[in-house]
């Protein structure tokens, strides 16, 4: 199988003072007001006559002798920010998709820090260019992009060079998360993703530990063992540790890694949602991709991550309704829906994170259909036990333009919905407030450690090319977690 994320990493990204002659597609920033780059060969009235007014993400192709020049809208110059530049760059990358060698002046604009501008532009072009190839046999299945020249004047070039490198690292990580989630489950099981983690560990400055089924059972990880019971594929838990010198805090990441989710004996219907269940490991993919980038980005926080990986399959040995599991922290759980399995494997990971003595924990999971009903396909649910830490996650999501919306973690009203006469709690809370009750369940395993939960069931996949996203797995959450780790501050009591 061809790994399209490697193509993103392999793009030759450079920072230059002027457009190189090798570029066959050049994107020029055009705002809704102000001057128009003379290199476009057209003036504002000509642009307007062709329906182009400079709104963010608009493009207009002007043929030239050596290729194409592209007018790229960046909106009102007084309101320009990095998110607008990222969107504009994505529009340019998509418009120039038939060209291998691109250049753009999008980062050479007033009002945005040069490093931040270049980072956003590189992220936009590279992520929009990503195309999953997988098992396709057509020669033109992948991206054609080979080089990207970021044009910046002398006063901005140094900052732009740093930002461009950061942008490629982050784009490569997000593309890696997409690649993992797009891969068919036959080609990526729990053992496979563990092998990938081990393979990247040394170069990424990570200590990697892999735990097999026997070890998980000996550790008392009843959630992992229970969910795996119906599968012929053994589970794997992967612990990754990034330890810089003199860390400013210790953050834990826990990712749901259900490599394929049939629902178990509470089997899913044969609908489009079931067809996407190879992506039920998108949380673990985002965490692994995040960890792969921290050394290159010079992250100053210690970060420990757990990937909780297994299939959820129906068989004669699968979990039954009414079974009671004993989790890593000793709590007992009655299973009344085997399709509410993500919270069972996360519970063991969260328990281990608490034992590690971390300053805060965030988990990420394609956890509930309820969040899709509440927030739609574009916004992730955000809940937590510590508002200052939830605010950090929220700020990171806003900086990278991965939208989240905070829902209330209302234990007073809804914890009783998890009560059962047969165990400490049950794994479902009823027909309503499903995202809230699921997070309340998870919070039972986080002790007094500040905790935030990201439910990405809505934005885990994209149905059509748009902005920086290509049809298929989105890699959503990767850039949020990277930003959080690199800007993490231990919450204060």
CATH number at residue 40: 3.40.220.10
**How many Å separate Cα 289 from the centre of its chain?**
8
pLDDT at 1: 72
In a domain, 47, yes or no: yes
Domain end (from 161, 180, 199) = 180
The owner of tokens 């990201």 is 454
- The span from the CA of 433 to the CA of 438, in Å, is 9
The verdict on residue 343 lying in a domain is yes
The reply, when asked if residue 339 is annotated as ligand binding, is: yes
For the cut 90, the answer to whether the pLDDT of residue 273 exceeds it is no
Q: Which residue has the tokens 């439910």?
A: 455
Q: How many domains does the chain have?
A: 2
Tell whether 361 and 214 lie within a shared domain: yes
Q: Please state, in angstroms and as integers, the Cα–Cα distance from residue 54 to each residue in 44, 75, 143, following that order.
A: 9, 6, 27
Give, in order, the Cα–Cα distances in Å from 142 to each of 3, 93, 286, 414: 10, 14, 22, 48
Could you give the C-alpha distances from 352 to 22, 313, 382, 443, in angstroms and in order?
53, 25, 22, 13
- Is position 415 annotated as part of the catalytic site? no
Banded pLDDT at 3 (limits 50, 70, 90): confident
Provide φ and ψ at 84, rounded to 5°: -65, -40
Instruction: Determine the pLDDT at residue 116.
Output: 98
Q: Given the structure tokens 């949602």, which residue do they identify?
A: 273
Q: Write down the catalytic residue from 191, 213, 268, 471.
A: 268
- Domain containing residue 474: CATH number: 3.40.630.10
What is the per-residue pLDDT for 128? 97
State pLDDT tens for residues 306-327.
999 999 999 999 999 999 999 9
Q: What is the pLDDT of residues 153-191, one digit of tens each?
A: 989 999 999 999 999 999 999 999 999 999 999 999 999
Its pTM stands at 0.97
Shared domain check, 15 and 120: yes
Q: Does residue 493 surpass a pLDDT of 70?
A: no
> What is the pLDDT, as a whole number, of residue 331?
98
**Is residue 397 within 8 Å of residue 403, measured between CB atoms?**
yes
Alpha helices in 330-445 (DSSP H): 342-355, 369-375, 387-400, 411-414, 434-443
Q: How confident is the model at residue 4 (pLDDT cuts 50, 70, 90)?
A: confident
Residue tagged active-site, from 278, 343, 394, 479: 343
Assess whether 245 and 133 both reside in one domain: no
| 357: in domain | yes
Do 293 and 322 share a structural domain?
A: yes
Q: Please tell me the distance from the alpha carbon of residue 227 to that of residue 150, in angstroms, as a whole number.
A: 48
User: Rounded to 10 degrees, what is the CA torsion of 23, 25, 29, 32?
Assistant: 160
Of 159, 180, 201, the last residue of a domain is 180
154 shares its domain with 213: no
Residues 221 and 265 in one domain: yes
Residue 493: inside a domain? no
Query: In the numeric block, which tokens belong to residue 244?
Result: 């810089």
280 known member of a binding site:
yes
Would the annotation count 355 as a binding residue? no
Residues 164, 194 within the same domain:
no
Is 491 domain-assigned? no
Q: What is the mean pLDDT of the chain?
A: 96
Q: Residues of the chain with pLDDT > 70: what percent?
A: 100
Residues 271 and 330 grouped into a single domain: yes
Which whole number is the average pLDDT over 87-100?
A: 97
14 lies in some domain: yes
Whether 389 is in a domain gets the answer yes
Domain that holds residue 383: 183-486
Residues 164 and 238 in one domain: no
222 and 157 part of one domain = no
Query: Are residues 196 and 311 both part of a single domain?
Result: yes
Q: What is the pLDDT of residues 220-245, one digit of tens each?
A: 999 999 999 999 999 999 999 999 99
397, 297: one domain: yes
Does residue 274 fall inside a structural domain? yes
What are the tens digits of pLDDT across the range 385-433?
A: 999 999 999 999 999 999 999 999 999 999 999 999 999 999 999 999 9
44 is catalytic: no
Of 138, 157, 180, the residue at which a domain comes to its end is 180
């Amino acid at each position: 199988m061809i790994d399209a994320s490697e193509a993103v990493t392999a793009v030759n990204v450079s920072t230059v003072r002027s457009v190189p002659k090798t570029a066959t597609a050049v994107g020029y920033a055009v705002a809704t007001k102000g001057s128009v780059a003379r290199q476009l060969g057209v003036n504002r009235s000509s642009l307007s006559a062709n329906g182009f007014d400079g709104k963010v993400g608009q493009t207009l192709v002007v043929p030239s002798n050596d290729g194409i020049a592209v007018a790229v809208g960046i909106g009102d110059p007084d309101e320009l920010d990095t998110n607008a530049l990222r969107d504009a760059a994505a529009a340019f990358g998509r418009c120039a998709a038939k060209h291998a060698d691109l250049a753009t002046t999008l980062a050479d604009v007033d009002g945005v820090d040069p490093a931040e501008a270049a980072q956003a532009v590189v992220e936009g072009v590279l992520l929009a260019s990503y195309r999953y190839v997988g098992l396709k046999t057509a020669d033109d299945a992948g991206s054609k992009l080979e080089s990207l020249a970021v044009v910046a004047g002398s006063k901005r070039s140094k900052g732009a060079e740093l930002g461009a490198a950061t942008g490629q690292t982050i784009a490569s990580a997000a593309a890696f998360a997409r690649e993992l989630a797009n891969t068919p489950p036959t080609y990526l099981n729990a053992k496979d993703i563990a092998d990938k983690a081990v393979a990247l560990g040394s170069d990424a400055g990570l200590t990697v530990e892999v735990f097999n089924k026997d070890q998980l059972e000996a550790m008392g990880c009843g959630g992992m063992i229970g969910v795996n019971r119906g599968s012929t594929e053994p589970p794997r838990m992967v612990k990754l540790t990034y330890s810089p010198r003199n860390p400013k805090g210790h953050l834990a990441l826990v990712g749901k890694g259900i490599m394929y989710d049939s629902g178990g004996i509470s089997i899913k219907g044969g609908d489009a949602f079931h067809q996407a269940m190879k992506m039920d490991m998108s949380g673990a993919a985002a965490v692994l991709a995040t960890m792969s980038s921290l050394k290159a980005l010079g992250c100053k926080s210690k970060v420990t991550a757990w990937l909780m990986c297994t299939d959820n399959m129906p068989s004669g040995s699968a979990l039954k309704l009414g079974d009671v599991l004993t989790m890593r922290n000793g709590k007992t759980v009655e299973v009344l829906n085997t399709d509410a399995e993500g919270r069972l494997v996360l519970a063991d990971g969260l328990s281990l994170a608490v034992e590690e003595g971390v300053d805060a924990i965030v988990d990420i999971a394609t956890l509930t259909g309820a969040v899709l009903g509440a927030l739609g396909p574009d916004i992730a649910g955000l809940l937590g036990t510590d508002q200052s830490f939830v605010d950090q996650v929220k700020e990171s999501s806003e900086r990278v333009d991965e939208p989240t919306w905070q829902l209330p973690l209302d234990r007073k009203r809804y914890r009783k919905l998890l009560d059962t006469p047969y165990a400490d709690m049950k794994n479902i809370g009823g027909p309503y407030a499903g995202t809230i009750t699921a997070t309340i369940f998870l919070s039972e395993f986080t002790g007094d450690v500040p905790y935030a939960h990201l439910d990405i069931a809505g934005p885990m996949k994209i149905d059509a090319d748009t902005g920086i996203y290509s049809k298929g797995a989105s890699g959503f959450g990767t850039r949020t977690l990277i930003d959080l780790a690199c800007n993490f501050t231990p919450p204060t009591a």
